[in-house]
Amino acid sequence: MRAVNAELKDIDKVQIHPTGLVHPDEPDNKVKFLAAEALRGVGGIMLDCDGRRFVNELGRRDYVSETMCKHDRAPYRLVLNGKASKEIEWHCKHYCGRKLMKQLQSGEALAKEMQIQPQQLEQTFKEFNMSMETKRDPYGREYFQNGPWTMDDIFHVAIITPVRHYCMGGLHVNTECQVLSKQGPIPGLYCSGEIMGGTHGANRLGGSSLLDCVVFGRIAGLSSCRYLMEVFVSRAAGGALLGAGASATDGTVHQGTVDVPQDSTNAEVSTQTGEKDTSHSEVKRHVFTLSDVAKHNREDDCWVVVNGEVLNVSSFLNEHPGGKQAILLFAGRDATEEFNMLHKPDVVSKYCPECIVGVLDNVSSSKASLAKMHL
């Protein structure tokens, strides 16, 4: 971008999110999982190393992160009581599975985990219950869910730290999503999404980035198509390259398409697809036991079971949108419960149908279900 003198906007505006989850085994890992805002939304509280609250947990991201830094009493913890945990059960299960969160059976156990006196924790709960009752919180919290807090409860706890989350700054664009230099729009260069600067001011609000991607993605798509059409129109001699509806020069995007000479490519593709489909359905009939699956428990040879289907995900691991570690935790095992908590039912057929190598035998399937029922 520098090479074409693209201008930047708000480049110093970087959002720091307060609840990056710290993995106890790798606290210095530069990449952290993010705890969903919903964990605080259902009533989670944030405690400092002394077991005290210090902030309005529901405040804006910049305020909460800044308060954590100023207060300077790390490690900070995000704590959910039993009712709050129940309301957001699958998040808690997922984070526990990844060892980013712990479930503790009492306030006493929580105090021990935090290396503080149980009396201190009890005092914190009392004060928070008082804030809830009187609707007057020393930190300004206005919304309270899933109280009261008592020591004889189940808790979920995670260590949290502020993390770099989003860059509000980026490339300077006009309303057509054309990237600007000091001299004006740079011909043929469009952008949208997080690389674009200036949409969110100094502090993006939660949930609005994906909206931004969709809205400005469409504008950038339309603008760049319009530009391409104009280039084609001006270059094509007598419109030979263009379909009938695309010869106007008014910059409008038309339905007409670029005519590609007919050759055998399409036929070849469909034949290959047909062949692949046949072999795919043959492979799918293989029946495996859980012990068969258990042998494939390495990164370079990784099978998992999902909803009764046996998947060889070895070559999909690096493409998995949730990261390879998410799947590797279940290498050689039945991942159905965790999978169903996080995915739409059609993701396997949509993104990696070729991973399906067979089905789980009935005995293994029913054993797996029984094991789950006894959990």
Which residues would be at the binding site for ligand HEM (CB under 6 A)? 304, 306, 311, 313, 316, 320-322, 326-327, 330, 335, 338-339, 342-344, 347-348, 351-352, 355
Strands (E), 138-286: 155-167, 170-171, 178-181, 184-190
Task: Give dist(CA 283, CA 279) in Å, integer.
Answer: 6
Amino acid in the structure at residue 191: C
Measured from the Cβ of residue 199, the count of other Cβ atoms closer than 10 Å reads 20
The residue among 127 and 194 lying less far from ligand FAD, judged by its C-beta, is: 194
Selected binder of ligand FAD within 2, 28, 207, 238 (CB under 6 A): 207
Helical ranges in 207-249 per DSSP H? 208-235
| Residue 208 binds ligand FAD (CB under 6 A) | yes
- Determine the length of the chain: 375
Per-residue x/- marks for ligand FAD, 163-202, CB under 6 A? --xx--------------------------xxx-------
Pick between residue 224 and residue 336 the one whose CB is nearest to ligand HEM: 336
Q: Which is nearer to ligand FAD, 141 or 165 (CB)?
A: 165
Q: Residue 210 binds which entry of ligand HEM, ligand FAD, none, with Cβ cut-offs from 5 to 8 Å by kind?
A: ligand FAD
Half-sphere exposure of 106 (CA within 13 A, CB side): 5
From ligand HEM, ligand FAD, none, interface partner of 207 (C-beta below 5 to 8 A by class): ligand FAD
> Using CA atoms, how far apart are residues 49 and 73, in angstroms rounded to an integer?
6
Site string for ligand FAD, 28-57 (x = CB under 6 A): ------x-----------------------
* Catalytic site positions: 17, 40
Residue 4 lies near ligand FAD (rule: CB under 6 A): no
Q: How far apart are CA 26 and CA 12, in angstroms?
A: 29
- Binding of ligand FAD at residue 1 (CB under 6 A)? no
* Structure tokens that stand for 350 in this block: 């949509």
Q: Please, what is the minimum distance in Å from the beta carbon of residue 32 to ligand HEM?
A: 13
CB proximity list for 184: less than 8 A, separation 6 or greater: none
Residue closer to ligand HEM, measured from CB, 232 or 316: 316
Q: CA 180 from chain center: how many Å?
A: 31
Q: What is the DSSP letter of 100?
A: S
